Structure 1
Amino acid sequence: MVGEPTTHDEQTPLLSRDGAQNDVRRTPLPLKQISIILLLSFCGVAAAYSSLPFLNELLLSLTGGDEAKVLYYASIMEASRNACFLITVIYWGRISDHVGRKPVLLLSCAAVIISTLLLGMSKTFGMVVLSRCISGGFNSNVATTKTVIGEITDDTNRADGFALLNVPWSLGVSIGFFIGGLLSNPHKHFPHMFSGKIWRDFPYLLPCATIALASSLAFLVALTHFHETLPRKCNSFTPVEGTSTDTRSQHTPPLHTLLTSRVIFSISNYVVLSFLTKTYLSIQPLFFAMPIAIGGLALEPIQIGSILGFFGLCNAFVQAFFLGPSVRRFGLRKVLRCSLSTLIPTFLLFPLMNIYARDWQVHHHPNSRVIMYTLIAIQLALFAIHDFGYGCLSIYITSSVPNKHSLGSVNGIAQTSASVARLIGPAFANTLLGLSIEKGWMGGYAVYFVLSGMAVGGMILVGMLPESAWEAANPEES
């Protein structure tokens, strides 16, 4: 059965290569286990995004209406959350290698419930920061869910399993925004149903309580129906007669011993992909909203929200149904390289869109407006193909581990490294965008050419990876 321990030696990697992949019949996905993982992921994403519609209003109420302090407070809040995440995520991976994946997933879900309720009842900035610290410090979902997917799938269906992780993300973002925007201030929007004092005192409690309730149901489902995926021997705290009491340390080796060349190559590609993705995602909404005269499209917020919301739903469909067949048809490295290559035209389309927007603004050519929106659609389609890279690299990372008991630790290292890249990416891109506009570098478009060049470098880095998933490790690497 998929996901159960085998009789192979403990140093055997999670991916075996017993012949051409196309000649092997695909193993059906363990839908029950995967559905629970997707549910937990959905709750985590929805909780993270449900606060964004009312966050500015919440911070304004805490600063006494001082708008100058809002950005300062928001920066402290996000920095606290990110710092807690960076400090702890690698250790949650290590802990999951010791005690199992299920306890860590349940603890993460419980943290979502507590942090969300705490945010909804916050009356001071300290409570807001505490809720964000709990959310970040116990946010082990991303690394642990990837670990579980790697353990309950095999090399015939792993691409399909990782592709499904995009579905709860896209749905969580959309539904989280919807819940946060619709249910905040219920005493104003639904006075006949929510006229009680509690809703006036805590205007953001209803959306937070809704998320917490959904997360509580997910917690109960996982508690009663999710089966541990960490091999039982590795999950045991009871020493077996005739064995050393240091068994756990043998199963979970020191971090430095996990950094084999193939782990480093896989994570390096993941870091580059994360960096480039975050630069695009940080520039995109700014570009859509910026005035045409300085290089943007001057779209209204409702237009931007509609475009990005529709793309999110379409992207979930594309990832779920096309990543697996693409990997089986073309091979893992070719799909990954194609993913990186799409970023080159993706970045270069920014100045082209602005050129047509300028033409429409100055000469009022209707075709220019149509072409501009067509280019937006092409750019988003290219970015959907780009997202294939995450599923591909999840497969590479899963197959790169020195032994099957260290997957949680390796995923923790990968998430920590990628998180650093995601912090640096927006700062780098936004700073370069500002300088390009201010200094007039290449007509204000220099940032897009620089990022396209970096995407070329990412394509070259893919060459360090094998055509398919990593083969079995050499004994000295184990």
Structure 2
Amino acid sequence: MVGDEHTTQDARSSEREPFLLEHAQKNTNSGRTPLPFGQLSILLFLRFCESATVFSVSPFINELLLSLTGGDATKVPYYASVMDASRSGLALVTIFFWSRTSDYLGRKPILLLGIAALATSMLLLGISNTFWMVVLSRCVFGGFVANTSVIQSAIGEMTDESNRADGFGLLHAPWAVGVSIGPLIGGSLANPHAHFPHFFSGEIWQAFPYLLPCATVAFMSSLGFLVVATRFRETLPRRPISMHNPSDEYIPTDAPLPTRALLTPPVLLTVSCYFLLGLSYLAHNAVQPLFLAMPIPVGGLSLQPSQIGFILGLYGLHNSITQTFLLGPSIRRFGLRTVFRSAISAFIPIFLLFPLMNIYAKDWYFHQNTNSRIIMFTLLVLQLALLSVAEFGFGCIFMYINSSAPTKRSLGSVSGLGQTAVSVARFLGPTIANGMLGVSIERNWMGGYAVYFLLSFLVVGSVIVVGKLPKGVWRAEDR
């Protein structure tokens, strides 16, 4: 009994230090634990697969929706808002369930479910010939993919305080690579019967012009499924059922906290900031591909899917380098909160550059002013550079979320709360942005640019809220 009491006390005393015990025992004399790169690389590959999947549709989604509207360009923003809302709405009601379930069943089963859903959703999108099939594919994505929160939890469990910042610092790099590769796949492989008639002249490629890029990213997700199934080791801490039964059967060391106990002030503030970051980012992501593809007189830049894919691909390459090599030094030099606040603030000029680019595009389109076209592309480069700064926010908020968790057994639930908040943002951001974009253009509010000024105004409020975070990660005394 005495031994059991000491064991219980030891478990409770370790609550605020979530890490994989087996890995932590390999701590070096310098006090810094080496990162488990083998297991970590599997999680990073899953991040890449999800990112590539999300952004592979950007170059052709406007063209796909336009074909489903019968060629009516003014209906595309409304179709896009319904499509995004279906995915986000379903994710809103399921992501916390899957994240919390991972606190009971383990991270590995939920990761397998998520990566399988990624592949399935893209195959459905590739064979979609009606708008409701597109919606179904987005529902599969939103209803079963909880990889982001589970990956955050797994990294928190396989690292300790000596190397956790390094682990989370790597988390955004594969996402940025996916932002690069995804649009390249979507832009270059869409309509293969037209671009590669010698290889893809069959009727299936004409009937389903977006099947090839969708099948390509689905194949990558299938590889991720196999790697997780065969190589990934469970990170959720477990112990033998009984000290008197040295069997191989394992159970969790302690039960997850009740949901009410998770709602501490640090968790609520951090989740709120994650929501505000996600709202700005997802509103931008909803508007950007439509803006790049819309006709110049309507309010866009009239770029082709291949051009959009090339531009976003170059951005992804630049962003992956920026996140990998500049995020960590920036946090060490300026502090976590300063970098996070700067990231949020960057969305203000990002949104205001949309109408400015279109003004110069119209000057080139109507008056053949070559200088205006050069300025337009220069402003686009500036906007993408600012977007890299804005994406620093994700590395920062992951560190805040992980450190705000009350116990090590609540990592999945707290990450799930964060992802639930982002799901609300994923529902509201594209819905508001695309809806307002359609209304602004249709009613010519502020020259069709009202949506961009509205979004910039919302960012100002976000900057104020972010200022309430601590200068560094949450400490035990803060929780």
TM range (shorter): 0.7 to 0.9
Matches within 5 A, 1:178-327: 178-179=184-185, 210-233=216-239, 238=241, 251-292=255-296, 295-327=299-331
Name the residue aligned to 1:38.
44
Q: Secondary structure at the match of 2:461?
A: helix
Match status 1:148 vs 2:154: yes
CA RMSD of aligned residues (A): 4.1
Matches within 5 A, 1:53-92: 79-92=85-98
Query: 1-side partners of 2:193 and 2:432: how far apart?
Result: 42
Residues 100 and 229 of structure 1 are in contact (CA less than 8 Å); yes or no, is this contact kept in structure 2? yes
Change (3 A) 1:133 1:287: closer
Identity level (%): 54
Name the residue aligned to 1:21.
none
Count of residues in correspondence between the two structures: 453
Change (3 A) 1:453 1:324: same
TM-aligned CA deviation for residue 164 of structure 1? 2.8
Match status 1:158 vs 2:161: no
Matches within 5 A, 1:346-357: 346-357=350-361
Query: 1-side partners of 2:188 and 2:108: how far apart?
Result: 33
Residues 177 and 317 of structure 2 are in contact (CA less than 8 Å); yes or no, is this contact kept in structure 1? yes
Q: Which amino acid aligns with 1:147?
A: S
Matches within 5 A, 1:323-472: 323-361=327-365, 365-437=369-441, 441-442=445-446, 444-472=448-476
Q: Which amino acid aligns with 2:258?
A: P
- Unaligned residue ranges in structure 1 (runs of 5+): 1-5, 16-23
Query: 1-side partners of 2:264 and 2:127: how far apart?
Result: 47
Change (3 A) 1:451 1:25: farther
Single out whichever of 107-116 and 423-432 deviates more from structure 2: 107-116
Change (3 A) 1:105 1:342: same
Name the residue aligned to 1:94.
100
Residues 81 and 135 of structure 1 are in contact (CA less than 8 Å); yes or no, is this contact kept in structure 2? yes
Q: Secondary structure at the match of 2:475?
A: coil
Name the residue aligned to 1:110.
116
Q: What CA deviation, in whole Å up to 9, does each residue of 1:151-197 have, x standing for no partner? A: 33344543443343333334334444555566678788778777899
Single out whichever of 410-419 and 135-144 deviates more from structure 2: 135-144
Q: Normalising by the residue count of structure 2, what TM-score does the alignment of the two structures yield?
A: 0.78
Query: 1-side partners of 2:433 and 2:81: how far apart?
Result: 18
Query: 1-side partners of 2:131 and 2:434: how far apart?
Result: 28
Query: 1-side partners of 2:126 and 2:295: how far apart?
Result: 36
Query: 2-side partners of 1:126 and 1:376: how far apart?
Result: 34
Change (3 A) 1:398 1:127: same
Change (3 A) 1:60 1:211: same
Q: Which amino acid aligns with 1:225?
A: R
Residues 44 and 112 of structure 1 are in contact (CA less than 8 Å); yes or no, is this contact kept in structure 2? yes
Query: 2-side partners of 1:396 and 1:458: how far apart?
Result: 16
TM-aligned CA deviation for residue 295 of structure 1? 4.8
Change (3 A) 1:427 1:88: closer
Query: 1-side partners of 2:218 and 2:228: how far apart?
Result: 15
Q: Which amino acid aligns with 2:415?
A: N
Q: Secondary structure at the match of 2:476?
A: coil
Query: 1-side partners of 2:152 and 2:187: how far apart?
Result: 30
Residues 43 and 211 of structure 1 are in contact (CA less than 8 Å); yes or no, is this contact kept in structure 2? yes
Change (3 A) 1:386 1:187: closer
Matches within 5 A, 1:169-180: 169-179=175-185
Residues 352 and 456 of structure 2 are in contact (CA less than 8 Å); yes or no, is this contact kept in structure 1? yes
Query: 1-side partners of 2:385 and 2:267: how far apart?
Result: 31
Q: What CA deviation, in whole Å up to 9, does each residue of 1:449-475 have, x standing for no partner? A: 33323222111111211000001046x
Single out whichever of 25-34 and 142-151 deviates more from structure 2: 25-34
Match status 1:9 vs 2:25: no
Single out whichever of 122-131 and 172-181 deviates more from structure 2: 122-131
Q: What CA deviation, in whole Å up to 9, does each residue of 1:366-385 have, x standing for no partner? A: 44333332222112111110
- Unaligned residue ranges in structure 2 (runs of 5+): 1-9, 20-29, 246-250
TM-aligned CA deviation for residue 147 of structure 1? 1.6
Change (3 A) 1:354 1:106: closer
Single out whichever of 263-272 and 292-301 deviates more from structure 2: 292-301
TM-aligned CA deviation for residue 365 of structure 1? 4.9
Name the residue aligned to 2:6.
none
Single out whichever of 39-48 and 311-320 deviates more from structure 2: 39-48
Match status 1:138 vs 2:144: yes
TM-aligned CA deviation for residue 115 of structure 1? 4.6
Q: What CA deviation, in whole Å up to 9, does each residue of 1:418-448 have, x standing for no partner? A: 1111211122233444455555555554433
Residues 160 and 323 of structure 1 are in contact (CA less than 8 Å); yes or no, is this contact kept in structure 2? no
Q: Secondary structure at the match of 1:165?
A: helix
TM-aligned CA deviation for residue 93 of structure 1? 0.9
Name the residue aligned to 2:22.
none
Query: 2-side partners of 1:201 and 1:293: how far apart?
Result: 31
